[in-house]
Every structure is written in C-alpha cells, then in structure tokens.
Amino acid sequence: MTETSRVSALPVTRPPGCPFDPPAAYATLRATEPVVEVRCPTGIDAWLVTRYADVRAVLADRTMSSRGAASLHILPNAGRDPVQPGSVIQLDGKDHSRLRKMVIAEFTVRRVEAMRDYVQAVVDSHLDAMLAQPGSADLVRDFASPITLLMISELLGVPPGYRRQFQRMSTTLLSSDTTPAETQQATIGLLTYLAELFADKQINPQDDVFSRMIVRGEADNDPLTIAEMAMLALNLVVAGHEATANMIALSTLALLEHPAQRDVLLEAPQRAIDELLRYLSVVQFGVLRYATTDVLVGERMVKAGEWLVAALNSANHDEQVFPHADDMDLSRAASRSHVAFGFGAHKCLGEQFARVELQEALTLLFRRVPSLRLAVPREELEYKDNTLVYGVRRLPVAWDEPAEIPSGTTDPGELMPFPQADRLAADN
C-alpha cells in the first residue's frame, strides 16, 4: 500500500436500534469505494473488499494466502509465524489440501445426517434441563454454549467421563473474560489433553472422526502426527464452537423479535437456516488474506505482500445479490449462495454439521417452548461488538409454565455416542 494512501478505520460500529444490521458504512463503500484501504484494529493496513462478487473472487483466488492470516487483523497475537502444523485454517497449498482432504470425508452430508438423531437427543436433553429450572434461564449459558461444546467433544471422541473437564478447559479457552495468561494456560492444557487422547486412539482406535483419520492415514502411508491432530482438533473446537453457539443465541433473539418468521422456520428449516446465516453473518470482521502476487481486485491493483479483508457480512448484505438485504426473510430463495461460511479453498469444513445443529436447536426450541420470550428489556442486552464472532453475551429468556417437558430427562454429559457405524451400515 502506498505511503500517500488515505486510510480510514475498518468499519466496526453497528447502527443504533437494530442489533442485527452490519455497520452502515458498508452500503456506502459498496456503492462508492468497493475496494478501499483501511486500518484494522491491530494496526495492520489492508484492502477492505465489500462487494459480493469481489469477496468471492478474492476467496477463490489460489494466489491469496491464508498463512497466519485467520484473524491477525482483529487479534494481535493470532496467526504469527511459525504456523503450527495441523492449523488447517492458516495453511496454504499442498499442506492445506493434505489436511483438508483427511477431514472432509468426515463432514459429508451423508455422514452429518447420520449424526442428526444424536444432535436431536443432545438438544432435547438440554431443553429438559433448562425447562426444569423455574421459568427462566440464560439461553447462552444453559443451551447454546453447552450443546455446541458437547457436539465438538463427541466429534473429537472425548470419552463421556472426560467431557465435563473438556468443557471446562474449552470454555476458559473461548471466554472473552479471561486474561491472556489464562487463555495460554487453557490452550496448553487442551493441546496436552488432546495429544494424550490421540496417542491412545493410535493404539485403540474407536468409531470416531479422529480414530478413522488415524486408520486412513496409516493405510495411505501418510499418517498425521499427534501434534498435527491436536492442533487440528483445537481448530475444530475454536472454529466449531464459537460461531455455532453465537448463531443459535442470536438467531433465537432475531426470531423473538420477528415472531411471524418462526412459522416459516418450522415449515422449511433448511432454507430458513441459510437465511439466518446470511442475515446475521456472525463472522463479523470478515477473513484476512494477503496477496502473494500483484492482482486486480475489482478495479484496484493490489500489490504482492498487501493484506486484504474479505468482508463477509458486507457481501451477504449486497443488494445486487440479495434484494432488501437488510430484511430477514426466512422464505428467501437465494439465501443458500451466502458467504457466511466463507468461499473457496478454506470454506468452512463444518458447514453441514453447523446447519444440522442450527436446524435442530432452533426448531426444537420453538416447537417445545412456544411461549419463549425475553426476560429483560431488549435495551439491556449486551453484544459482542469487538470479538471475531458477533453475538449476544447473555440471553435471559422466560416461558409460561408448565412448559412441555418430555419424560426421561437424560444427563446431557452422559449421552450415547453418535450411532455412526450402525447408521451408515444400515444405509448401505
């Protein structure tokens, strides 16, 4: 970027009134300066790319590097060199595709569908526990956060007896209320635990994602090291938990604000979930890349070595692609082409799984608790304005008693594992 550049700040402020709208500056930028220089909160200067077509072009361009890039524009210590082996989100080229190929087999539509019954059971058991409380709860603490963490521990093959400990470590790692030292300690603790878990799976493979990756890697003579698996698993914890939990809580709030849309959700949940993903675009500051070669983006020549921010929320609110983009319309047909999961080589590996989690969490919640409502005035809610993933910090909710509670409440931490092997065999 040239010294004479006029650099303004990355837009971060949302308009007052509606907590779901992206910063108003994006609409102006898309119309007037769709590729513009900005200074990011961590001090790096980048080209901010705001139009849908340009965002997709940047993310599809194999000359754009993700190396160390995931969130360096927002988190000062994220993604510095050296990139750790196994950190799929930060790798490029062959290192990236080798890892991605190993994981992607576990996240196909078919595999994820085989997990649906388990997801339902986890959601139901947490609803049972929540509804057993006298009339109110924090939907983030009591529902969205624990169910998504439990799903991740199931994916990683954490044995039932260790899940509560795993949840405690992950919660500390992902909390925005902890000090950098506490976060570092939790990261080391979690990586050590995961390394021990995978070392055990190398000797005693079970019917879970990482055991199957170990077996496949050995069969292909390209095994993942323990350190790679631990870092990959940490990527899944960080990427998989935070965005999904925030989506569940924020979608609940949006649906409480737009009661008519709840019927649309219950009638056609698949389409509705994609519209919620588009409308809310919780990866609020987009994703970072740097150019490894001179490249034209829109009408701007970006030089090798310069940074770019692909503004996912701006792209998802581009009126050229999504008419009335700032309206939430759960019957919108074009929602599926959103970029809330990114695009191109690094497109979210867990997108199908996240869709199933969101479908089951939101439909079961509104079906079983039709009287759900906010327990505090909306003005009292606090939002995660400065974290990578947008959301609501707490969501106090209430309902009319007696709520419908199915019998046989299960301890959410002790549910049966995914019935994958049986289900997949039965499908064949």
Q: Which residues bind ligand HEM (CB under 6 A)?
A: 66, 70, 88-89, 100, 155, 235-236, 239-240, 243-244, 247, 282-283, 287, 312, 340-342, 346, 348-350, 353-354
Instruction: Rank residues 88 and 230 by Cβ distance to ligand HEM and give the closer one.
Output: 88
CB of 411 to ligand HEM, least distance (A): 23
Strand-pairing partners, residue 397, are 137, 374
Contact 105, 402 (CB under 8 A): no
In this structure, how many other beta carbons lie within 10 angstroms of the beta carbon of residue 163? 18
Min separation Cβ 231 and ligand HEM, Å: 11
Q: Smallest distance from the beta carbon of 297 to ligand HEM, in angstroms?
A: 16
Q: Which is nearer to ligand HEM, 307 or 353 (CB)?
A: 353
CA dist., res. 218 & res. 215, Å (int): 5
User: Is the Cβ–Cβ distance between 316 and 326 less than 8 Å?
Assistant: no
What residue number has its CB nearest to ligand HEM?
Answer: 350
CB of 106 to ligand HEM, least distance (A): 9
* Shortest Å distance, C-beta 89 to ligand HEM: 4
Do the bridges between strand 396-398 and strand 373-374 make them parallel or antiparallel, or are there none, so unpaired? antiparallel
Tell me the closest approach of the beta carbon of residue 347 to ligand HEM, in angstroms: 6
- 41 or 344: whose CB is closer to ligand HEM? 344
Tokens in use for 355? 């869709």
* Residues listed for the chain: 428
**With respect to ligand HEM, which residue has the nearer C-beta, 111 or 128?**
111
Nearer to ligand HEM by C-beta: 88 or 302?
88
State how far the Cα of 114 lies from the Cα of 117, in Å rounded to an integer.
7
CB of 377 to ligand HEM, least distance (A): 27
Q: Which residue lies nearer to ligand HEM by CB, 230 or 282?
A: 282
The smaller minimum CB distance to ligand HEM, of residues 38 and 155, is found at 155
Give the residue with the Cβ less far from ligand HEM, 67 or 201: 67
Angstrom distance (rounded) from CA 25 to CA 35: 13
DSSP 316-382: TT-TTTSTTTTS--TT-GGGGG--TT--GGG--TTHHHHHHHHHHHHHHHHHH-TT-EESS-GGG--
The single-letter code of the amino acid at 298 is G
DSSP one-letter string for 119-184: HHHHHHHHHHHHHTSSSEEEHIIIIIHHHHHHHHHHHHT--GGGHHHHHHHHHHHH-TTS-HHHHH
Can you tell me the distance from the alpha carbon of 98 to that of 425, in angstroms, rounded to the nearest whole number? 27
CB 114 → ligand HEM: shortest distance, Å?
15
